[in-house]
Structure 1
Amino acid sequence: MTTGIPLSRLLKTHFGYDSFRPLQREIVEAALARRDVLAILPTGAGKSLCYQLPALAREGVTLVVSPLIALMKDQVDQLTAAGVAATFLNSTLGMQENRDRIEAIRNGDFKLVYLAPERLMSGAFLAEVQRWNVTALAVDEAHCISEWGHDFRPEYRRLRELRQALPQVPAIALTATATPRVRDDILVQLGLRDPAAFLASFNRPNLNYLVEPKQDALARVVHFIRERGQESGIVYAQSRKRTEELAASLRASGIPAVCYHAGLETAERARNQEAFLRDEVRVVCATVAFGMGINKPDVRFVIHADLPKNLEGYYQETGRAGRDGLPADCLLLFTRGDIVKQQRFIADISDEEARDNAREQLEHMADFAESDACRRIGLLDYFGESWPEENCGACDNCLAPRGNWDATVETQKLISCVIRVKQAGGPPVGIRHLADILAGSRAEKILARKHDKLSTYGIGKEHSAAKWAEIARTLVRKGWFAVDGGNYPVISVTDEGVAILRERRAVSLTRLMEGEKTTTRRAGDIECDAELFEALRNHRKQVADAAGVPPYVVFSDVSLRHMAREYPGDKAAFARIPGVGDRKLNDYGPGFLREVSTWLETHERRKFAPLPDPRASVPKPVLNGTTFATLELWRAGKNMDEIAAKRGLAISTIESHLGAIIESGEDIDPRRCYSEKEEAEMRAAFEGSDDLALKPIFEQLGGRMSYGKLRLFRAIEARGASLQPA
């Protein structure tokens, strides 16, 4: 049962927004229709609201499974500041406080309760949960349930027991990153029943991806951070010792920094994280242990001082930058030495399948780092998504292309050398061995196999062995060399490579990475009065310190930038600022209004160009495999009943697919979805309704139209309106 309060009013009252982000509305509606839901949305797309808003719109309590204590506290702090009754139960609470909160939950005093999976499944606690009026289950960071995910948590696997204990309670699983394999695993492990699946684009348009060779890494990190004024950022490193050294070096350079890794005492780890979240230090140098609990929206840069193990981890870690939607930079410092280190760790993995999987993931990561193609294309391709543009305008390879060079002779020498090694007999060789032959190395392995007697020995002394190895890896990416083998990969020439040599084709290759690049930071910031923005930031820090919460809990940088360009003069104007709900208007409005008023006493009001309409730049939803299968049958002339029967799916699922298809830009004939009479009825019912909830319309029509048909009508109408001239 729902509360009857319009969704649009709840959205503005508690969260301060007038409209939903892409897919949020559809996810909320599916959840309120008591369907199981799988939502894959990128970081910063507003996943939390997808279960928080339904919790406010329905009776009872929503259980939220969250993997980290810090993340629970942060979410509850933000909800409390927004006037939402939320709490958490975890090991930080004393016995009496724990008992008091459980009693309050039994009494229905909270709308959302955050728990770790370990707590949920411990002892008799599941029986306690069954005493509560649980009406929904939300599983945050759902990729943790999959052994194929980068943050696998074995205790997440037991959540099926929770579902069995609460069989009538619908579940929503949410994550920011999941490959198709992980998505399938989530569905199976969580036992989602005929779920409404929503897959948004993995693209983070506000992130600028940069890859540079690792040369004097510390100096580069210091310079990169200094270029960014007072902005906050994260520096990731592979080892605990390295994070400590980086943090100490940054402090010695005058940059406030702390380190974070699993080897620190719990209290010190918590202090360092809190200092970063509260803007008391600018930078945290961390291992991947500094992860999901970081909900700080104004991280303006992420630096990888060492190579991540896989692209999924890289995506997740870079995704901690720019969660507020404002521009942010992601710098990766790359050297082949990091790959060698990772390969040594992988060789120690005892399970053969896990070892092969780790090796494959590392290869994807290395290919991404060395590639001369658009970074965005490579990253999205890994998640099964295509990028339609050749130049994204927000990565190093698009902003500063490396240019080409004539590599015909080098290519001929490399291919010839592999062929000569094969003709000489003996086992094939790897890239490094091949490079040593061409460079004329006197290493024992070369002499022992008599490779110094080959006709190609030493014919490449104009380049170092390292450069020959780089060129050889480029030929692998071109498909002219093939790499085979596990711990000791060897190369061979492909048919295409043989043709290159035999036909004496001219070869042009992209230049190798050579040091720091000059790239222009991309547009997308919210232009505002910079000095007023800093004044508002200082006021926000004072307010946050007094309340004992991080500054972003008070207001995000996006809200402050809007204040610093619109100069609100009264409560009505302040209420129109994005992110200002009723509670924050009353709690914080007077103080911020005074700051703006005081500022204008001694400064001129500036004028700014209008901001672009955010709806104009919203990417079309990406169709996942199952939705595209429905589209193909629809294009073949099948109706909804036929598609549902052929695919073994419910009509409601096919209707959801068609809604996503319409929003992706496909033209759908409404006559294939509903009759003219039904269309007239629905149009009359929707007339004058400004709420996003379908339940009032459904009830007004006496249940004659399904929710799916209502959703299709609205999607078709919205698409028609969007095609009208402005």
Structure 2
Amino acid sequence: MTKQVDLSGYLKKHFGFDTFKGNQEAIIQNVLDGNDSFVLMPTGGGKSLCYQLPALILNGTAIIISPLIALMKNQVDAMRNFSEDDGIAHFLNSSLSKSAIQQVKDDVVSGKTRLLYVAPESLTKEENIEFLKQVPISFYAVDEAHCISEWGHDFRPEYRRIRPIISEIGTAPLIALTATATPKVQHDIQKNLGMLNAHVFKSSFNRTNLFYEIRPKVNATREIIKMLKENTGKSAIIYCLSRKKVEELAENLVVNGIKALPYHAGMDAATRTGNQDKFLMEEIDVVVATIAFGMGIDKPDVRFVIHYDIPKSLEGYYQETGRAGRDGGEGRCVAFYSYKDIQKLEKFMQGKPLAEQEIGKQLLLETVAYAETSLCRRKMLLHYFGEKYTPENCSTCDNCINPKEQFEGKNHIIKMLKVVNELKERFKTEHVIQVMVGKVTSVIKSYQHHELPIFGCGSDEDEKFWHAVTRQSLVAGLLSKDIESYGLLKVTEKGQEYIQKPYSIMLTRDHDYDVMEQETRTAGGTAALDTGLFSMLKDLRKKISKKKELPPFVIFQDPSLEAMATYYPVSQEELQNMPGVGAGKARRFGKDFVNLIKRHVEENEIERPMDMVVKSVANKSKSKVSIIQNIDRQVSLDDIAGSKGIELLELLQEIESIVYSGTRVNIDYYIDQVMDEEHRDDIFYYFKEDAETDDIGAALEELGEDEYSEEDVRMVRIKFISEVGN
């Protein structure tokens, strides 16, 4: 049923635009011709128009299957703005009252409604199926189609039921749309929707205006505040993985004078929608959110997308960063990375079905590869989506702006390719690298790979080095990962040719974030550490510690001195804003430190960066007050942790921050229940007489990890600091 129409005329009439973007016109024509279409178009490319315009041109109602109520509401409101009749677009979902549902059905039956948005859950309801059987349907559109695939970043099982239900309601052309899909996910979507013969329209994934950057996760909150303060008034979305962190970070931003609100699925619908609307209406600048936020958010001028926590997959990362700079203007994408976060995410996967764990692990490894690589980030990202980026330097990512030194990689690559061949292409990266460095594990032994001549052939370099070689060989097309079988390494045809006829390939070493975190910490985070002042503060601490016969760390820990030597607090009030310094500590020990800093600032005519002193959240003390009250009532620490929904170790860390800030607590009642006297005294004596620092790792090493648990050492350290220091 070819329908030749003046598409530009319709575009102007309904939406007021003069020209189509990218593939839009060809896609719309394909829908009008009655063909199935698969549309892969990055965020900001204008996906919605690809089904909105044909819905207005064709007779009947287009059924738009969409995953989120907020997303449907936005789209329906947008469509109504383009039309005089509100009935032109409706949504049908669980948020509607009975009378509202009746109104929707009346408008659909009367032919007024051209677009009907339906959640997959609503589509499966028997009464809706029966109703839609009577409706002339122009076509079906499956938005956010990546939700169909287990390999996508937002898998929803109900999406897999769409095809059988469509067949039951009545067949019509189908258009599936997504902003992110690797070749594997694309095939999954088409197969599941029964549209393997669909016309495929793929736009480039390259968003040229976005700047990509990964930073080590040190003082991330302070870094974020600094970034936002330097860009006051600019819109930003900050993503965190947990609701708790969303609330906490949003509070921190507000306390520091930034207009921010939280957004997560645990909030009631009205508050959540209200916060989203305030962001869209520019009443606030920043929204701190879990990944529940963002699908279909059409705000064109988001200037920053910041990931406080690294996402679970590169699709998720790409989709979320894609919300920056949709108007073609500035868009900075900054992610904070620490391998500890990856380990945390792996921990969350435990207990899930094995196949799901394997998929999750593969997706995580791709994220690690992206974060740690020193290759052009754009090249790496586009390679992941099956697109080749040929320029050597994109000049819009941290790696291209600060390139790492290169070295000749030919011999290393050949060694790697030969080992993959020797292992018959049946193993994942981890295993291949363990064979190369000569690491004997139970799995290596079970395959007798430690007896192969190639075992240890790359032992002159470490595992990190070989990971970098693997990643760069994948991007160069010499190796491939067989995703179907969970990431087995294969040598490509190009790779086999390379073994025979090698040529020069320059490689770079990956970033080592453990080292970078260490360097950033010792450099005092964001601002520059005044090393002269730092050493004077340490001398003062030593002097006071001798006078009071206390270990130096009881007075102030190193991070507190580093902050003082970075931000120059010259009053007790300012001193209290330093990490690990509360009112009690400031009163007890602060005077001499403040005087020393004041003198140093005056003598050296230092301009203090006090505007960047990050204020701590006052009402975070609510939680602390309740902990102190519970301890005063001698409530078991296990019960306090349980009531707060946290582990005992997390509670001990909360109590530590209380005592390190100068407040005294007495947990003897609990220590006496769980530890014998001798055990307790050994740890106490260690901190009093032997410890040079208060480091838990050093304490466990000295005391013996077999006899003493981390919880034991932390509890006695709390007792020690509280009694001796506060």
With the length of structure 1 as denominator, give the TM-score of the two structures: 0.58
Which digits, 9 at most, give the CA deviation of each residue in 1:359-407, with x for residues without a partner? 1111111110011111011011111111111111211111232446999
For 2:100, which of 90, 97, 101 is the aligned residue?
97
1:7–1:357 CA distance, 2 compared to 1 (3 A): same
Partner of 2:250: 247
Tell me the CA shift for residue 192 of structure 1: 2.2
Partner of 1:342: 345
Q: Are the equivalent residues in 1 in contact too, given 2:130–2:169 (CA < 8 A)?
A: no
Whether 2:36 is the aligned partner of 1:36: answer yes
Which structure 2 segments of 5+ residues have no match? 410-432, 445-459, 482-486, 488-498, 500-505, 524-726
The aligned amino acid for 1:65 is I
1:89–1:479 CA distance, 2 compared to 1 (3 A): closer
Partner of 1:361: 363
Separation of aligned partners in 1, 2:153 and 2:38: 18
Which digits, 9 at most, give the CA deviation of each residue in 1:653-691, with x for residues without a partner? xxxxxxxxxxxxxxxxxxxxxxxxxxxxxxxxxxxxxxx
Partner of 2:239: 236
Q: Are the equivalent residues in 2 in contact too, given 1:403–1:510 (CA < 8 A)?
A: no
Partner of 2:91: 88
Partner of 1:283: 286
Which digits, 9 at most, give the CA deviation of each residue in 1:394-422, with x for residues without a partner? 11111232446999xxxxxxxxx999995
Separation of aligned partners in 2, 1:173 and 1:354: 24
Aligned 1:324-403 pairs, distance under 5 A:
324-349=327-352, 351-403=353-405
1:133–1:373 CA distance, 2 compared to 1 (3 A): same
1:190–1:507 CA distance, 2 compared to 1 (3 A): closer
Tell me the CA shift for residue 473 of structure 1: 5.4
Which digits, 9 at most, give the CA deviation of each residue in 1:618-668, with x for residues without a partner? xxxxxxxxxxxxxxxxxxxxxxxxxxxxxxxxxxxxxxxxxxxxxxxxxxx
Partner of 2:56: 56
Q: Are the equivalent residues in 2 in contact too, given 1:65–1:139 (CA < 8 A)?
A: yes
The aligned amino acid for 1:388 is T
Tell me the CA shift for residue 162 of structure 1: 3.1
Partner of 1:12: 12
1:361–1:507 CA distance, 2 compared to 1 (3 A): closer
1:332–1:100 CA distance, 2 compared to 1 (3 A): same
1:224–1:405 CA distance, 2 compared to 1 (3 A): farther
Separation of aligned partners in 1, 2:159 and 2:337: 34
Partner of 1:190: 193
Partner of 1:137: 140
The aligned amino acid for 1:395 is C
Q: Are the equivalent residues in 1 in contact too, given 2:213–2:335 (CA < 8 A)?
A: yes
Aligned 1:190-339 pairs, distance under 5 A:
190-192=193-195, 194-339=197-342
Q: Are the equivalent residues in 2 in contact too, given 1:65–1:117 (CA < 8 A)?
A: yes
1:316–1:507 CA distance, 2 compared to 1 (3 A): closer
Tell me the CA shift for residue 30 of structure 1: 0.5
Tell me the CA shift for residue 97 of structure 1: 2.2
Partner of 1:675: none
Aligned 1:557-568 pairs, distance under 5 A:
none
Separation of aligned partners in 2, 1:507 and 1:113: 53
SS at match of 2:9: helix
- The 10-residue stretch of structure 1 (188-197 or 11-20) with the greater mean CA deviation from structure 2: 188-197
Aligned 1:171-186 pairs, distance under 5 A:
171-186=174-189
The aligned amino acid for 1:265 is D
The aligned amino acid for 1:194 is N
Tell me the CA shift for residue 333 of structure 1: 0.9
The aligned amino acid for 1:259 is P
Separation of aligned partners in 1, 2:216 and 2:11: 46
> What is the percent sequence identity of the aligned residues?
43
Separation of aligned partners in 1, 2:462 and 2:227: 30
The aligned amino acid for 1:97 is A
Separation of aligned partners in 2, 1:376 and 1:399: 12
1:106–1:404 CA distance, 2 compared to 1 (3 A): same
1:181–1:278 CA distance, 2 compared to 1 (3 A): same
1:61–1:3 CA distance, 2 compared to 1 (3 A): farther
1:508–1:153 CA distance, 2 compared to 1 (3 A): closer
Q: Are the equivalent residues in 2 in contact too, given 1:148–1:181 (CA < 8 A)?
A: yes
Separation of aligned partners in 1, 2:507 and 2:28: 54
With the length of structure 2 as denominator, give the TM-score of the two structures: 0.58
SS at match of 1:151: coil
SS at match of 2:126: coil
1:64–1:511 CA distance, 2 compared to 1 (3 A): closer
Tell me the CA shift for residue 262 of structure 1: 2.1
Separation of aligned partners in 2, 1:510 and 1:134: 53
SS at match of 1:197: strand
Q: Are the equivalent residues in 1 in contact too, given 2:437–2:462 (CA < 8 A)?
A: no
1:367–1:270 CA distance, 2 compared to 1 (3 A): same
1:131–1:387 CA distance, 2 compared to 1 (3 A): same
Larger relative contact order, structure 1 or 2 (CA cutoff 8 Å, min sep 6): 1
1:182–1:243 CA distance, 2 compared to 1 (3 A): same
Aligned 1:667-706 pairs, distance under 5 A:
none
SS at match of 1:174: strand
Q: Are the equivalent residues in 2 in contact too, given 1:214–1:335 (CA < 8 A)?
A: yes
SS at match of 1:26: helix
1:470–1:10 CA distance, 2 compared to 1 (3 A): same
Aligned 1:427-506 pairs, distance under 5 A:
474=468, 477=471
- The 10-residue stretch of structure 1 (23-32 or 86-95) with the greater mean CA deviation from structure 2: 86-95
Separation of aligned partners in 2, 1:14 and 1:426: 65
Partner of 1:70: 70
Q: Are the equivalent residues in 1 in contact too, given 2:405–2:508 (CA < 8 A)?
A: no
Partner of 2:162: 159
1:166–1:265 CA distance, 2 compared to 1 (3 A): closer
Say how many residue pairs are matched.
458
Separation of aligned partners in 1, 2:103 and 2:125: 19
Separation of aligned partners in 2, 1:23 and 1:68: 26
Tell me the CA shift for residue 53 of structure 1: 1.0
SS at match of 1:303: strand
Tell me the CA shift for residue 355 of structure 1: 1.2
Which digits, 9 at most, give the CA deviation of each residue in 1:54-96, with x for residues without a partner? 1122112111111111111111111111227222222332221
Q: Are the equivalent residues in 2 in contact too, given 1:2–1:58 (CA < 8 A)?
A: no
Separation of aligned partners in 1, 2:196 and 2:341: 43
The aligned amino acid for 1:224 is M
SS at match of 1:124: helix
The aligned amino acid for 1:311 is L
1:401–1:275 CA distance, 2 compared to 1 (3 A): same
Q: Are the equivalent residues in 1 in contact too, given 2:374–2:509 (CA < 8 A)?
A: no
Separation of aligned partners in 1, 2:512 and 2:220: 18
Partner of 1:21: 21
- The 10-residue stretch of structure 1 (362-371 or 11-20) with the greater mean CA deviation from structure 2: 11-20
Q: Are the equivalent residues in 2 in contact too, given 1:405–1:510 (CA < 8 A)?
A: no
Tell me the CA shift for residue 258 of structure 1: 1.2
The aligned amino acid for 2:334 is L
SS at match of 2:342: helix
Tell me the CA shift for residue 166 of structure 1: 4.2
Separation of aligned partners in 1, 2:244 and 2:141: 37
In our comparison, the structure showing a higher alpha carbon Rg is: 2
For 1:146, which of 132, 137, 149 is the aligned residue?
149
Tell me the CA shift for residue 238 of structure 1: 1.5
SS at match of 2:233: coil
Q: Are the equivalent residues in 1 in contact too, given 2:404–2:508 (CA < 8 A)?
A: no
Tell me the CA shift for residue 479 of structure 1: 7.6
